Amino acid sequence: MKKQIFITGTDTGIGKTYVSYLIAKVLINKGIKVGYFKPIETGCMPDCEDAKKLSSITGQDIDEIILYKFKNPVAPLVAEREENKKIEIQRILSHLEYLKEKYDFLIVEGAGGVSVPITKKDGKIYTYLDFINDTNLPVVIVARANLGTINHTYLTFNAIKSYQGEILSIFLNKASKNPDLAEKTNKQILSEMLLFEDIFYIFEDEEEKNLKIIENEFLKVIES
């Protein structure tokens, strides 16, 4: 079974934290000691809502979950410049190793998508693609289910592959009860384009159904 995963998305506000919550809840219900790590959260005004949601089920202190909190809802690189608070990648990597030892299963969540700039390191902009490359964490992509998702998901998938990243699954979030033609076919078209089968719908306002999808489908992926 995989011990750690990295949750990314095709956009901000796409549902990464909700998917993290679903995965954590299923594993905790199975008696697994789950930790959650969101190294950087922006838009904390004043509370960091993503961390707060996950801490409610993992029992972690917010300070263990988040290392860098910013008020402005912008990319981490912009936030650190505006608020004069430097993000240190080595500090994040060291805390990651600590959490990997502490928990049976660790969910790590990024901010926005894979090309979001985190900071400048060694004179170059460091993105979440670099983070994936440095940590070798297997990746879960969260995308929207409706029209327009094919292009965004395809680009995200191939960006990760270009950095030799391992992709575990794709979740198409906020699927509706009455899908239109695009939503009905997005999963199949993406599977054909990416030559990738582990794509799952997550349904809007149907938590119990979504928990069963995690338990019956996604756990097979991380256990293989």
Q: What is the C-alpha to C-alpha distance for residues 105 and 36, in angstroms, rounded to an integer?
A: 9
Residue with tokens 């990314």: 8
Phi and psi (nearest 5°) for 105?
Answer: -140, 130
Host H or E run for residue 4: strand 4-9
202: tokens are 């997550």
Task: Classify each residue of 27-51 as buried b or exposed e, where b means 16 or more C-beta atoms within 10 Å of its C-beta.
Answer: beeeeeebbbbbbbbbbbeeebebb
Pair 20, 6: CB distance under 8 Å:
no
Pair 93, 135: CB distance under 8 Å:
yes
DSSP states of 32-90? --EEEE-SEE---SSS-HHHHHHHHHH---HHHH-SEE-SS-S-HHHHHHHHT----HH
217: tokens are 């489908």
Q: How many residues does the chain have?
A: 224
Which sequence positions are flagged as catalytic? 38
